[in-house]
Amino acid sequence: MSKKLSLNILHRRMKDLSNVLEIQGDNTFGDDAYMVGLYNGIELGLATMEGREPVYRKVSKKSIKKYNKDIQRRFKKPKGE
């Protein structure tokens, strides 16, 4: 594969990733800690490829508390163990 073709493919993939980031960031998921984490991961990857500092989204404290309670509930040992 030629270098020019490789760069064109890379540019196309970066544009695709940018579109995914835009869709993920359109706030249809509200303040969900998991979805914000997914957005931030995509942002990190794209920023790294573009040679810039990532611009992360923040999650509210309320959402973090809810997420932590859910994790604790899922991993709580059943009585008698």
In the three-class reduction of DSSP (H, G, I as helix; E, B as strand; rest coil), residue 69 is classed as helix
For 15-30, what is each residue's pLDDT tens digit?
A: 999 999 998 888 756 6
pLDDT tens for each residue of 40-81: 999 999 999 999 999 998 887 887 788 788 888 888 877 776
- Of residues 4 and 15, the one with the higher pLDDT is 15
pTM over 0.85: no
Banded pLDDT at 13 (limits 50, 70, 90) = very high
